[in-house]
Amino acid sequence: MGILKEFKEFAVKGNVIDLAVAVVIGGAFGKIVTSLVNDIIMPPIGLAIGGIKFSEIKIPLKDATVDEAGKVVEAVTINIGTFTEIAIQFVIVAFAIFMIVKLLNSVKKKEEALPETPPAPIVSEDVKLLTEIRDLLRKP
């Protein structure tokens, strides 16, 4: 029973829930970036360099063939265009994460820069009494 209780405490801690939310949002963000790169960024670039579709840029290593049984053996290629698209996606995601971390760090620095009110000094009863006597003697 102890393990189940420990797991429950672990699972309901804020950090685990925050991590789960971050994973879900990150997955959705990844789909948005993929669409941004594939559907918005790469087509104009491909058009500008001669109407090339990046996902079709490949270096063939071995052509497709048909074996004796009539089964098609697919071609072996190095997919340069697909790699380029994924590299651009990575740069966009990395830049977005960098900007988020930079924003969080600036917020944290502002919180640290706020002046804290110093705690009241701990004064003994003797010192309080002497302070009161001094103040009374100063009055005209």
pLDDT exceeding 90 applies to what percent of the chain?
A: 12
What is the per-residue pLDDT across 25-47, written as a single tens digit (0 to 9) for each? Answer: 888 988 998 898 888 988 898 88
Mean pLDDT over each residue of the chain, to the nearest integer: 85
Domain ranges of the chain: 2-116
Inter-helix orientation angle 80-113/14-35, to 10°: 140
The backbone torsions φ and ψ at residue 61, rounded to the nearest 5 degrees and listed phi first, read: -100, -35
pLDDT exceeding 70 applies to what percent of the chain?
A: 96
Identity of the amino acid at 126: D
Measured distance CA(133)–CA(137) in Å, rounded: 6
pLDDT for 14:
61
CA-nearest of 104, 78, 89 to 40 is 89
Classify domain 2-116 by CATH number.
Answer: 1.10.1200.120
Arithmetic mean of pLDDT, 55-66 = 90
